[in-house]
């Protein structure tokens, strides 16, 4: 039986800007089960980030209900929200958001040092293990400026993983990466998902969404389409084919031709 990690119902978000109201979400219902790899697609301004910020307990909906991993979120205090976020969620952003002049291992260790539950004792060892998990065990002491974009995003993914979240939320995680590096990052998300982590990725790129198992299309603050992908592409296979120089219909080929 599948267990819902996310259950939202009738979620609306209205931003008030002086006299005007912006209807960012106009009533969204969504259930995401444990183990899903979901892509949220939609053009710029459609409400993807607003939805993500609500799912991530970074923002509060104007109306509607939200249950995260069995916990009722709407109506919670800011402090309780922050605790829930720290216990359940890992975030990955388009711009990596790493601290400059700070080593990879220190960046990954940071959420453990800020954790108030006292769950984590050997923080350094946990940070090292998370970096090894994303293939950066040999780059522990590198600062962001000494790493490629793809490596920086993998450090950010390790930082999201280190607290052992139930759910990874990634908002345009490949938006700043070239096409091959984007596939590498998607291969990592697919591998983590195969290990049992539920992953939600926002993207406006169809090439990226085809690595998900389910795609929802958001338009004007509503879910317009919600469909399972029968046979998602394997990012690892696509990488192998690219490395072998094979003439495959690789996602990056179509993008660069566009």
| Interacting residues toward ligand ADP by CB under 6 A | 15, 17, 22, 24, 42, 44-50
Q: Find the binder of Mg ion among 46, 49, 163, 174 (CB under 5 A).
A: 49
Which of Mg ion, ligand ADP, none binds 45 (CB below 5-8 Å, type-dependent)?
ligand ADP
Nearest distance, CB of residue 93 and Mg ion, angstroms? 10
Q: Evaluate whether 232 touches 210 at the Cβ level (below 8 Å).
A: yes
Nearer to ligand ADP, 50 or 198 (CB): 50
The least distance separating ligand ADP from the CB of residue 186, rounded to whole angstroms, comes to 19
Q: Which segment (16-24, 45-53, 101-109, 120-128) binds Mg ion by CB under 5 A?
A: 45-53
Q: Residue 138 corresponds to which tokens in the numbers above? A: 């040999």
Task: Give the one entry of ligand ADP, Mg ion, none that residue 15 binds, where binding means its C-beta sits below a cut-off of 5 to 8 angstroms depending on kind.
Answer: ligand ADP
Q: Among 162, 225, 166, 216, which residue's Cα sits nearest to residue 196?
A: 166
For residue 151, the partner it binds in Mg ion, ligand ADP, none, with Cβ less than 5 to 8 A by kind, is none
Query: Which one, 126 or 185, has the nearer CB to Mg ion?
Result: 185
Half-sphere exposure of 39 (CA within 13 A, CB side): 26
C-alpha to C-alpha distances, 249 to 48, 188, 204, 239, 255, nearest whole angstrom? 28, 21, 20, 12, 11
CA distance 188 to 55: 22
Task: Output the CA torsion sign for 191, 171, 101, 106.
Answer: negative
Strand partners of residue 222: 219
- Give the max Cα distance, the chain: 58
* Closest residue to Mg ion, based on beta-carbon distance: 49
Phi, psi of 12 (to 5 degrees): -125, 150
Nearest-approach distance from CB 22 to ligand ADP, in angstroms: 4
Binding segment toward Mg ion, per CB under 5 A, in 22-30, 43-51, 87-95, 154-162: 43-51
Query: Which of ligand ADP, Mg ion, none has residue 1 at its interface (CB below 5 to 8 Å by kind)?
Result: none
Q: Residue 188: phi, psi to the nearest 5?
A: -65, -45
What is the nearest approach in angstroms of ligand ADP to the Cβ of residue 236?
28
Number of residues located near Mg ion, criterion CB under 5 A: 2
Residues that bind Mg ion (CB under 5 A): 48-49
């Amino acid at each position: 039986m599948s267990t819902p990690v996310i259950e939202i119902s009738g979620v609306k978000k209205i931003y008030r800007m002086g006299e005007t109201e912006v209807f960012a979400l106009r009533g969204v219902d969504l259930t995401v089960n444990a183990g899903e790899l979901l892509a949220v697609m939609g053009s710029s301004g459609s409400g993807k980030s607003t939805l993500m910020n609500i799912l991530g307990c970074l923002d509060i909906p104007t109306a509607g209900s939200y249950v995260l991993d069995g916990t009722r979120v709407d109506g919670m205090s800011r402090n309780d929200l922050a605790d829930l976020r720290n216990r359940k969620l890992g975030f990955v952003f388009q711009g990596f958001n790493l601290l400059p002049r700070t080593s990879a291992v220190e960046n990954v260790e940071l959420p453990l040092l800020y954790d108030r539950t006292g769950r984590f004792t050997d923080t350094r060892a946990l940070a090292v293990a998370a970096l090894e998990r994303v293939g950066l065990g040999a780059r522990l002491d590198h600062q962001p400026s000494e790493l490629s974009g793809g490596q920086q995003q993998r450090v950010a993914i390790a930082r999201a993983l280190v607290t052992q979240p139930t759910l990874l939320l990634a908002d345009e995680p490949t938006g700043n990466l070239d096409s091959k590096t984007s596939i590498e990052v998607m291969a990592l998300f697919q591998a983590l998902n195969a290990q049992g982590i539920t992953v939600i990725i926002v993207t406006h790129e169809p090439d990226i969404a085809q690595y998900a198992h389910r795609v929802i299309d958001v338009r004007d603050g509503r879910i317009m389409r919600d469909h399972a992908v029968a046979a998602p592409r394997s990012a690892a296979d696509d990488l192998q084919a690219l490395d072998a120089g094979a003439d495959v219909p690789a996602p990056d080929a179509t993008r660069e031709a566009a």
